[in-house]
Amino acid sequence: MNETSDSSGGSTPSSGGAGGAKSPTHAAKPAGPGQGYYAIGLALVVGLVILLGTVWLANQNFNTAVSQYPPAGNGSMAPNNPAPNTGSNNAASGGTGTNSGSGTNNPSAPLPTIDLSTRPVRGSPNAPVTIFEIADFQCPYCVQAYPTVEQVMAKYNGSVKLIFVHFPLTSIHPLAQKAAEAAECANDQGKFWEMYDSLFTTNKLEVSDLKAQAKTLGLDTAKFNTCLDSGAKAPLIQAFSNLATQNGISSTPTFIVNGQELQDRSLAGFSTAIDNVLNPPRAVINVTGRPTRGNASAPLQIVEFSDFECPYCEMAYGVVKQAEKDYGSQMSLTYMEFPLSIHPDAQKAAEAAECAYRQKPAAFWSYYDWMFTNRSLDVPSLKGYAGEIGLNTTQFNACLDGGQAAAQVSADEAQGGANGVQGTPGFFINGLPIRGYLPYEQFKAVLDRELARAKNGTAAS
């Protein structure tokens, strides 16, 4: 998890696009007025992270960016920040376009809990790349995307898994709801993907067509027809629609590739996004003159962009400390300032650490440890601690009050931004970007992979 600062001063999880120019989609209207920045409920997070092999336990939405070099199975659904839905149809060149409409919405009806860990998976369950497809079986642009998805699954066989999320735009696609229900009725008999294929390839979505397809697929038609006619799956489809809307999904199809919304739905666009996960680019961070502790020639070179007031950074602090304990001389840690505007004490806390560093390099790390364990970051507390660790308080206070370290903080922020840091914490392990907080076991998995690379002589220089 990580935090980013938006222009309104609010806190939103970070987002980013994968691929090139955004392919147009069908957009859905929001369920109600006042759509803003939504956070997914804890229960849904638990369901998602079980599936993805993570153990994040905090309110977070689907655009949480995750490690570009994750343990197998890691990923998340991740749209851009929620935006008002447009309510229009727009075609674009190349056979793609945008749809808008409203989905079903009945907040008073009891809805099932969506356990994403039990959803049908196409591809290897342990694949390192997770693709979420948020779609509508009647959406023409979803139909157009289907062959490309099939090409992607064939090209990256064993490396990619696909998970489907229902988002029928019922106001413009009257047959989409029952088609979604049909897929779930087929899922009850273990043939979700067979029905998925049939719906997208035949594009025959009348109820009679759905029943005929069930027969063709060899389903128990009596059970299927009862399921479909009763509307038994309607609450589940509604729950999916709510999940998508609450997490900023506003159009179909939307594809999320390991936590990044795909902007280019061509095969080349998918390939770029997937290749960046399987073989992520490495950044070169200039750490000259920055606070560093540990073995300077260690095979694990960790750069941390962080914010002393950020709660996820506080969580990451424990992870880093455990790593330092476990890896010892095999790692070094360099700290870079990245205070967010949403945290009122973060800027001065960053400057305080830099003022301490100017007097004694070791004093920086005293502040680092103290600020992540003592959450009193107001200026009087920052000044008081300077005296406790034996700094020249007159010099320290002049530095802090005069903003003498502000330029260094800004320089760190600029370098972070230039290397894709949008929120905190952000790590680079041998140049490999790790966006957001990872639990220790996952952080350790990345460290172990990098150690293996070093032993094989393939670590980044």
Residue percentage of the chain with pLDDT more than 90: 67
Residue 23 confidence (pLDDT) above 80:
no
Residue 268 confidence (pLDDT) above 50:
yes
Left (φ > 0), alpha (ψ -120 to 50) or beta: where does 34 sit? Answer: left
428: in domain: yes
Angle formed at CA 163 by CA 428 and CA 106, multiple of 5 degrees: 110
Domain end marker among 222, 253, 278:
278
Domain end marker among 243, 278, 313:
278
- Residue 112's pLDDT band, with cuts at 50, 70 and 90, is confident
- Residue 328's pLDDT band, with cuts at 50, 70 and 90, is very high
Number of H helices, E strands in the chain: 15, 18
Q: Do 139 and 59 fall into the same domain?
A: yes
Q: Do 249 and 331 fall into the same domain?
A: no
Q: Do 260 and 305 fall into the same domain?
A: no
Q: Tell me how far apart the alpha carbons of residues 233 and 215 are, in angstroms, rounded to a whole number.
A: 19
Q: Do 245 and 374 fall into the same domain?
A: no
Q: What number is the average pLDDT over the span 376-394?
A: 97
Q: Do 297 and 163 fall into the same domain?
A: no
Q: What number is the average pLDDT over the span 50-79?
A: 31
Lowest-confidence range among 48-57, 397-406, 411-420? 48-57
What the block records as the tokens of 131 is 């693709």
461: in domain: no
285: in domain: no
- Domain span including residue 56: 4-278
In whole numbers, what is the pLDDT of the chain averaged over residues?
81
Residue 121, domain CATH: 3.40.30.10
Q: Do 207 and 132 fall into the same domain?
A: yes
Q: Do 216 and 268 fall into the same domain?
A: yes
Residue 33: is the preceding peptide bond cis (ω within 30°)?
Answer: no
Q: Tell me how far apart the alpha carbons of residues 353 and 280 are, in angstroms, rounded to a whole number.
A: 32
Q: According to the model, what pLDDT value does residue 59 have?
A: 24
Q: Do 240 and 348 fall into the same domain?
A: no
Q: What number is the average pLDDT over the span 222-227?
A: 99
- Residue 113's pLDDT band, with cuts at 50, 70 and 90, is confident
pLDDT in tens, 434-459: 989 999 999 999 999 999 988 887 54
460: in domain: no
Lowest-confidence range among 42-51, 366-375, 450-459? 42-51
Q: According to the model, what pLDDT value does residue 200 have?
A: 98
Q: Tell me how far apart the alpha carbons of residues 56 and 70 are, in angstroms, rounded to a whole number.
A: 14
22: in domain: yes
Q: According to the model, what pLDDT value does residue 69 have?
A: 29
Q: According to the model, what pLDDT value does residue 118 have?
A: 84
284: in domain: no
Higher pLDDT, 40 or 25: 25
Q: Tell me how far apart the alpha carbons of residues 309 and 47 are, in angstroms, rounded to a whole number.
A: 28
Q: Do 115 and 141 fall into the same domain?
A: yes
pTM of the complete model: 0.60
Residue 75 is classified by DSSP as -
Burial (CB count <10 Å: 0-12, 13-18, 19+), residue 151: middle
Lowest-confidence range among 110-114, 268-272, 358-362? 110-114
Q: According to the model, what pLDDT value does residue 100 have?
A: 46
**Residue 332 and residue 295 in contact, taking contact as beta carbons nearer than 8 Å:** yes
Q: Do 90 and 171 fall into the same domain?
A: yes
Number of structural domains found in the chain: 2
332: in domain: yes
Q: Tell me how far apart the alpha carbons of residues 252 and 40 are, in angstroms, rounded to a whole number.
A: 20
Q: Do 308 and 337 fall into the same domain?
A: yes
Q: According to the model, what pLDDT value does residue 90 have?
A: 28
Q: Do 274 and 316 fall into the same domain?
A: no
Residue 1 confidence (pLDDT) above 70:
no
221: in domain: yes
In 3D space, the residue among 127, 195, 134 whose CA is nearest the CA of residue 163 turns out to be: 134
Domain end marker among 251, 278, 305:
278
